[in-house]
Chains A and B, each alone.
Chain A
C-alpha cells in the first residue's frame, strides 16, 4: 500500500484510541472525586499532569478546576490532546485515506466527530460530562468493531492495529502513573478502603475491574499493577498491546516468524520480551514511575523507527527496491 496511506491509517487509529482513553481517564477521575471527600493534594492538577500537557494547560487556563480541566480534556480545540482535537485529527487522517478504509468506518468516525463537535457547541456538555464521555467511548467501540468487521485484515488493517495498540500501551502507562501519584500523595493513615477505591478506579478506567476480579479476586496493589502491565490476555494490558503490535509489525514488514528484518521490529521485539519475562515485584522495587517513564520513551522510539522504516519519504529507493525498479523497467522496455 501507499506509504502515505499506511501512515494515515496508523495515525487515524492512534488518535481514535487516544480520544477513547482520554474519555476513560476523565470519566473515572470525575467519579472518584465524588467518592472521596478530598482533602489532600490537588487532584485536578494530577489529572492534567497525567496527560503530559500541564504546561499547555497552565498557559491556557492557569488554575486547575473541575470546569477548566474538563474543558481542556474534552472540547477545547486549542488543547492538543482534547477529545475534540484527537477526533479532528483522526477524521482528517481517515479523510485522506477514504479509499483505503470501508465506507462504514468513514461514516462511523464521521458520526463520532460530529457527536463531539456538537457537544463542543453545547454548554451543557461541561456539566453533564458523564453522558458525553459514555457517548465517546461507545462511538469508539463502534469504530473499532466496524473496523474489525468491515476491513480486510491485510496490510492497512495491521498498520491501523499497530497504531492503536502502541497508543493504548502508552495511555495505559500514563493512567497507571497518574493513579500511582494519587495513591502515594495520600497520607498513610487514610486506610486501605480509600486506597482500594483508587485501585478499583484505576481498574475501571481501563474497563479492567471485572476481568481483574476473575483473575486475582482481592484488589491488591501489586496484582493490580501486574494485571495492567503484564497480563497476557487482557486487551488493555501493556504486554498484550506489545504482543499484538509486534505481530502486526511483523506482518506489515513481511518478515517470517522468527526473524526480525527491520529496526522497529527489533526494538518492539525486545520490549515485548522484556514484558513477557518481567516480574511485578522487581518493577515496583526499582520504582514504577521511572519504569513507566522509560517505557513511554521506548514506545516513542519505536514510533520513530516505524516512521523511518515505512512512512518517511526516501529520496532514493533502498538497494533491493532499486533492483525491482530496474528489472520491471527492463521487462517493460523489452515488450
Chain B
C-alpha cells in the first residue's frame, strides 16, 4: 500500500556526490526551488500515480524500442523518471558556448583530415593516431560536402564531477540518437507537472525538427532551389526506428529505406507511385560502412549501391557526411583540446575528462599499474560496451584488460573514475540519488550552429551504477534549461 503522507526529503541522502537538486547542506539549489517545494507538498502516492500516468502516455505514444529482434510482445518503453533535471541559465550559457566551439573545431578538423591534413603536417597532434584510427574513412578523402559542413547533427555526452564541473565525456558525431526522447519526455512532463513547468520558465525544445529541416535544406547541392529531403533508416526493426519515423514525420519529409532508393544517371532517386523522384538531401541514420555496398561493406543490405559516387559529384548531400566517425575515436578525443587550440586558437571552454592514451608508452605503464583505479575504454566501442570499471572489476577482469591493452595499445584509453553527479530519482515509492549524464544536441547548418536548449539526461537506474546507456539499464529524464532572468524573448533556439 502506498502511504498518503507527504514526500519527505529528510530521508533523501545526497551522499558523497554532487547532487543536481541539493547542495552540500541538503538545501534545494536555486533552480530547483519551485520543483522541490511542489514535490515536498505531494503525497508520495501521488508521485507514483503521476509516474504511472507518464509511463502510460509514453506507451500509448508508441515510444518503444525493440528488446529482442522484432517480436511485438518484447517492446518496451525506455524507462522514464518523472523528476526533471534542471540546468540553470548560467550553466547552460557555458555549455552552449563550449559546444559551439567544439563543434566548429571538430568540423574543421574532419575537413582538414580528409584534405591536406595540415594539423598532422604541423605536428599539432600525432599523425599515427589519426592514420591508425579504424574510423578513418579513406573513401571520404577529398570530399567537399556542401557548405563545408561534415557534422550536421551531433550529441555530446557531458558529465559533472564531484565539484559540479561539467566535462565532455565523449563526442558522438556519426548518428547520435535520443533526441526524440527529449521531445517526447517534454510532452509528457508538461502533462505531469503543468504548474511547476509553467512557473519554472523552461526553455522550449519543440524547435528541433524545424531547425533540423532548416539545416538539411541549407546543405542542399548547388543549383537546387527546393530540395527533396529524406530520412534514410535501416528499417522498422532497427532499435532507433521510432526516432527515425518521428523526425521524418515532424519535418514532413519522406522516411525511406535503401530499397526505396536507386542511383541512375548520376542522381539518387526514390521510387514513388508515380515513378521516380529525385532526392537531394539524405539525413541518413545508417553508419558509414553500410551506406554504399559498392564502396564499403559489400554485404550491406541497408545501403544504396552507387550512392558515394553521387555524393562525390555533389549531386546529393549526406548528413552527417561520411567519415565524421574519425573524430569520435576515443583516442583522438584525448587530443580535442589540442585540436581546438590548433584551429581556433582558443582554450577549450568545456574540459575533457583527463585521459591516458595507451599507445603512449609512459601513459600505458601508468594505466596498467593503476588499472584498479581507472576506467578503461575501447577506442571504438560505444553504448557502454568494451569497458572496464577498474574499482568495480575483479582481479581476473583487470588482468584480462591489462593483457588486451598490451596486445593492442592503440585500441585503449583510460580515465579516472569520476564521481558522476546524481539526481533524485523515483525508486519504488521514494526518491533516491542516481548517477546522471547529459547529452545536448547540436546542429551545424554552415552559417550558424544551433544548440537545442535541453537534452537527454540519462540516468543509471541501478543503485551505484555508473552506466547510463539504455542498452544497460539506463533511463531518461526530461531536462529543463531555464531561461535567463530578464530574458523576455524565451524564443526557441536563439541562434548563437
Known: A99-B253, A318-B275, A329-B266. A107 touches B315 (CB 8 A): no
CB-contacts of A282-335 with B (<8 A): 310, 313-314, 317-318, 320-321, 324-326, 328-329, 332-333, 335
Interface class of chain B by DSSP: mixed
Contact status A107-B62, CB under 8 Å: yes
Q: Among the listed B73, B231, B255, which residue makes an inter-chain contact with A117, where contact means beta carbons less than 8 Å apart?
A: B73
Residues of B within 8 A of A88 (CB): 72
A100 and B255 CA atoms in complex are apart in Å by 8
* Interchain CB contact under 8 A, B278 and A328: yes
Minimum CB–CB distance for B421 against chain A, Å: 34
* Set A110, A113, A325: member contacting B265, Cβ < 8 A: A325
Asked if residues B273 and A313 are in contact (CB atoms below 8 Å), the reply is no
Q: List the B side residues contacting A4 at CB < 8 Å.
A: 257, 259-260, 271
CB-contact partner of B62 in A95, A254, A326, under 8 A: A95
Contacts of B242 in A (CB 8 A): 95, 98
> Interface digits, B325-336 against A, CB 8 Å rule (1 contact, 0 not)?
000000000000
A99 pairs with B265, CB closer than 8 A: no
With A and B bound together, what is the CA distance between A5 and B248 in angstroms?
A: 13
Closest to B256 in A: A2
Q: Which of A96, A310, A317 contacts B236 (CB 8 A)?
A: A96
Q: Is the interface of A mostly helix, strand, loop or mixed?
A: helix
Given A95-B241, A107-B61, A329-B265, verify A317-B273 contact (CB < 8 Å). no
- Tell whether B254 is near chain A: CB-to-CB under 8 Å: yes
- 1/0 per residue, CB under 8 A from A, across B372-402: the answer is 0000000000000000000000000000000
Task: Determine the residue in chain A with the shortest Cβ distance to B274.
Answer: A254
**Identity of the chain A residue whose Cβ is nearest the Cβ of B64 in the assembled complex:** A110
- Check A321 against B275 for contact (C-beta < 8 Å): yes
At the interface, yes or no: A103 with Cβ under 8 Å from chain B?
Answer: yes
Q: Output the least CB separation between B37 and chain A (Å).
A: 34
In the bound complex, how far is the Cα of B61 from the Cα of A255, in angstroms? Answer: 38
CB–CB A332/B267 < 8 A: yes
Give the residue name and chain of the B residue nearest to A101 (CB).
Answer: B249
Nearest chain B CB to A177 CB, angstrom units: 32
Rounded to whole angstroms, the CA-CA distance of A91 and B72 in the bound complex is 10
Contact A5:B223 (CB < 8 A) given known A95-B62, A328-B278, A332-B315: no
The verdict on A267 contacting chain B, using a C-beta distance below 8 Å, is no
Known: A321-B276, A328-B278. A95 touches B245 (CB 8 A): yes
**29 A-B contact pairs sorted by A residue (CB < 8 Å):** A2-B256, A2-B260, A3-B271, A5-B254, A98-B242, A98-B245, A98-B246, A98-B248, A98-B249, A99-B254, A99-B255, A100-B255, A103-B249, A114-B60, A117-B72, A117-B73, A310-B273, A317-B275, A320-B275, A321-B275, A324-B275, A325-B265, A325-B269, A328-B278, A329-B266, A329-B267, A332-B223, A332-B267, A335-B222
